[in-house]
Amino acid sequence: MAKLEISYDKSKRIVAEKRREVKELENKVKALENELLLEKPLAKTRRILWDNIGQSITDMWKSIQVIHEEMDLVAAAQEEIQRTRDSLGNMPE
């Protein structure tokens, strides 16, 4: 009976060790599956792309503002030219 209990305890320990090994292997498989899904690289790539897009917009915004100001100045100059033409009327050069 004692031999049987010792054998039973030994088998319980072996089963517990095997379960731990299986658990570790399952965790490794999950980690490898996540790497295969490319979640981390895709997230990094998205972040880099959005950072670049944001920087490009920031860089271009100054030019857009200058263009808008220049368009306002051109419109004001055209109004002044028209006003001057109207005030001169049909005067000879």
pLDDT by residue for the chain (93 residues), tens only, comes to: 777 778 877 888 888 899 999 999 999 999 888 777 777 788 888 999 999 999 999 999 999 999 999 999 999 999 999 998 888 887 766
Name residues whose C-beta falls within 8 Å of residue 34's C-beta, 6 or more positions apart in sequence.
Answer: 40
What pLDDT does residue 70 have? 96
Name residues whose C-beta falls within 8 Å of residue 40's C-beta, 6 or more positions apart in sequence.
Answer: 34
Q: Distance between CA 55 and CA 53 in Å, rounded?
A: 5
What pLDDT does residue 78 have? 96
What pLDDT does residue 93 have? 65
Q: How far is CA 41 from the centre of its chain?
A: 11
In the chain, where are the structural domains located?
A: 2-36+61-87
What pLDDT does residue 64 have? 92
